[in-house]
Amino acid sequence: MLRLSVLDQSTVVTGRSPDTSIRESIRLAQHCEALGYHRYWCAEHHNSESQAGTAPEILIAAIAATTRSIRVGSAGVMLPHYAALKVAEQFRVLDAIAPGRIDLGLGRAPGSDGRTAYALNPRADAAAEQFPASVRDLLAWVSGMPLVEGHPFREIRAQPGGPTQPEVWILGSSDYGAQVAAYFGLPFCFAHFITDGHGAEQALDIYRQGYRPSAAHPEPHAGVCVWAMAAPTQEEAAWLFRSRELWRLGRDRGVFSALPSPEEAAARTYSDGETARIERLRSKALFGTPEVVGSKLRMMAESYGVQEIAVLTTLHDPEARRRSYALLAKEFGLAAPT
């Protein structure tokens, strides 16, 4: 059975202060739990006018403390910014808040520009090169197992201990993350929403072919994260999608701005080149009625052979966003938790 989850970037929108996006994330998580979604993942971005989610570990704590059943986690923690021990301690605390419900998604990308990455960690470039070793150490500290023989920090333990532990995922938009996940026997999620699907099939094939079974995951477990949006009619969905059209034009030029409203996007004058790019974006995008989007998501899951899809929906209107998740939950027959 295909699992449906949520990715949230705490998107900043025009006309509202960025701090409201954090509170909307907490509200949306509670809404999606009531709808029956399996996981709620919080992204990490820095120095961005587009996303307010700079500290997923803090947002996860707030969501975990105000929900009861949905799994809550990161998508992801950008590990090169941090010491593996500190991340392990943070997520051990989170697991103590919500035992057995915490996911620790790890990424290698900076989630920012190079200068911001340097401000977060002046050794970020070297840390990125050491990503597999950091994952190895983090897995030991998260699980309570000793580090490898001869490790200088072998006697250090990440507290608090407990009977459960976070579930670690590797996230990526290239072959690299797939190889790391396969080597350590971890679940892997491909960031389809970043690449528009480019490289997804190859990365997932590499993951499965190179998979080394682990005690926690004897078989490979793969997912994809996609941008998708549902509305009662195709016409309304197309109208709401105008926000993303304009935002994507900026993103493709390296400009990460607040998400505009559909009205702002409709008032914009587009060049012929921009219009052509928008048409290409529309042809690939997953928006429409629940039946249309549901069909495309099912075909994608079958094509990629994945067990889970995490849905990212960025809309200017929070009510339309919540409604989109509700429509998809109904389309997929999700059941509210008992």
The C-alpha atoms of residue 33 and residue 39 are separated, in whole angstroms, by 8
* Residue 122: pLDDT over 90: yes
Average pLDDT over residues 156-174: 96
> pLDDT band for position 112 (50/70/90)?
confident
- Three-state secondary-structure class, residue 46: coil
Average pLDDT over residues 8-26: 98
In 149-233, beta strands by DSSP E: 167-172, 188-191, 222-230
- Three-state secondary-structure class, residue 53: coil
pLDDT at 338: 80
The C-alpha atoms of residue 178 and residue 203 are separated, in whole angstroms, by 6
* Residue 111: pLDDT over 90: no
pLDDT at 97: 97
The C-alpha atoms of residue 144 and residue 175 are separated, in whole angstroms, by 29
The pairing of beta strand 188-191 with beta strand 308-312: unpaired
Average pLDDT over residues 261-286: 95
Place of tokens 């629940």: 290
pLDDT at 254: 87
Residue 21 tokens, joined: 């996006």
**Domain locations in the chain?**
3-233+287-331
* Residue 8: pLDDT over 90: yes
The C-alpha atoms of residue 177 and residue 174 are separated, in whole angstroms, by 6
> pLDDT band for position 113 (50/70/90)?
confident
The pairing of beta strand 286-288 with beta strand 188-191: unpaired
Domain made up of 3-233+287-331: CATH architecture: Alpha-Beta Barrel (3.20)
* Residue 298: pLDDT over 90: yes
pLDDT at 105: 98
Of residues 337 and 3, more confidently modeled: 3
Model pTM score: 0.96
